[in-house]
Chain A
Amino acid sequence: MNNITKEPLFSAKNLKLFTDQLDKNNPITVQVLGICSALAVTVKLKPALVMALSVVIVIAVSNVVISAIRNFIPDRIRIIVQLVVIATLVILVDQVLKAYAFDVSKQLSVFVGLIITNCIIMGRLEAFAMANKPWPSFIDGLGNGAGYGLILIIVAFFRELLGSGTLMGYPVMEKIGAYSIGYENNGMMILPPMALIVVGLIIWVQRSRNKSLIEK
């Protein structure tokens, strides 16, 4: 063990674990995971932000926990163990939000609980944390959470702006006087299908810029 030179914490390889998830290996637009919550919480920007943050916390911490005990987890019940760890963390996040960020927890309501079923988290535990050391797993978790959150925020930005004419509840369209020249909010943007279409547009833009992502 001693003759292996210790890898620096922020080595290029580790950083890549983070940055890849934002673009080239984005969980939503490239791996197409976690779409359901992307539809549900992106009508307004604020719930999307808190949801993104909650997912980052849950995925990073559960990655670390699973990675730390990966050599003790019996293979046959590993999925159950992963689920227990995720569920515990999600319940903790939910309880803390209820106690210290009551307004936000009210807005997110059931969606916090539904983080448990977010396939990105389970996918990362199974694919990465079970086979890697805690620190890279932590970075990988952060990266995936951030990649998920980034798309959530982009979608929520357009849906709130075009659908409700506000951003974080601030009436942008009214302030710039768009209504007085005949502009109207597009009610379609509020409906779930438009979230899919926005995600589709993001995928389109991303793949036209990076041809290597196009499937053969």
Chain B
Amino acid sequence: MKHFSNRYIFIFSTVMVVIVATLLSLAATLLQPAQARNLEIEKKKSMLESIGIQADRENSVELYAKHITESFVINSGGQNIEGVDAFSVVLKNEQRKPAEEQYLPVFRAVSQSGEQVIILPVEGKGLWGPIFGYVSIKSDMNTIYGVTFDHKGETPGLGAEINTSWFEEMFIGKKLFDNDSFTSVIVHKGGADEGDIHGVDAISGGTITSKGLENMLYDCIIKYSDYLLKNRI
């Protein structure tokens, strides 16, 4: 085995690190626009999905412009906040702020059948990482029109099932309020009773993700409860 001096080892490592750093930052910079665009498309796509419109990568931007009519940001008291772009609000950052300072985005949309709905973003914790999604609510501000969920790293086949249609479809028509008190939607292990207006089935083998999803819905939507109660029909 050839012997290398310490000097050589230092120079070798320095050169290696510089090359690798250049390569990676170059790749990150070059690929950044494509990645950002993917995220934007993804966001628009899932918002459309929550009102029952299946968009693909090509038409999601166009469909978004057609169906999402208005977007604005409110605070937990339900007042409008001017000058903030609802689409670019990052929910994760907002959740770190104190409750009364958080920006809460609201999107008004028109569904395929012409029904007026609002879309609220939600984000919470699953088993392995963040879970997130959109909940669309009918104009009575109580009945769920549709939902879409997604996750970063839940177990495929178990927790990851939250983004499948059989799970998401169970939320349609569920009620958020019991008279005037906010109840959210509860995930029942072993299955919700038939006709339970607040309950859906949990995913077998995905209990922690299901519970995380339940907490996410509760924690995120309760912040809107003033706004939802005020705008009831």
Contacts and interface: CB of A to CB of B under 8 A. Distances in A.
Interface of A: 41, 43-44, 47, 71-77, 80-81, 84, 88, 91-92, 95-96, 98-100, 102, 106-107, 109-110, 163-164, 187, 190-191
A73 B13 CA distance: 9
B8 A88 contact: no
B9 A74 contact: yes
B201 interface: no
A84 B12 contact: no
Nearest to A107: B156
Given A43-B157, A100-B34, 15 more contacts: A43-B155, A71-B2, A74-B9, A75-B4, A76-B9, A77-B12, A81-B12, A84-B16, A96-B31, A99-B34, A106-B150, A107-B156, A110-B153, A187-B204, A191-B158
A156 to B, nearest CB: 10
Interface of B: 1-2, 4, 8-9, 12-13, 16-17, 20, 23-24, 27-28, 31, 34-35, 38, 41-42, 128-129, 150, 152-153, 155-158, 204-205
Contacts of A187: 204-205
B35 A98 contact: yes
Contacts of B13: 77, 80
A99 B38 contact: yes
A130 B17 CA distance: 20
B157 A74 contact: no
B205 A191 contact: yes
Among B13, B24, B38, chain A packs the most CB atoms within 10 A around the CB of B38
Prevailing SS type, chain B contact patch: helix
Contacts of A109: 129, 152-153
Given A95-B28, A99-B38, A100-B34, A47 B205 contact: no
Contact of B156 (A43, A75, A76): A43
A109 B154 CA distance: 9
Contact of A88 (B20, B31, B42): B20
Contacts of B41: 102
Contacts of A71: 2
A104 B38 CA distance: 12
Contacts of B204: 187
Q: Which 9 A-B pairs have the closest CB atoms?
A: A190-B157, A99-B34, A74-B4, A43-B156, A43-B157, A99-B31, A102-B38, A109-B153, A74-B9
Contacts of B157: 43-44, 163-164, 190
Contacts of A190: 157-158, 205
A74 B31 contact: no
A74 B8 contact: yes
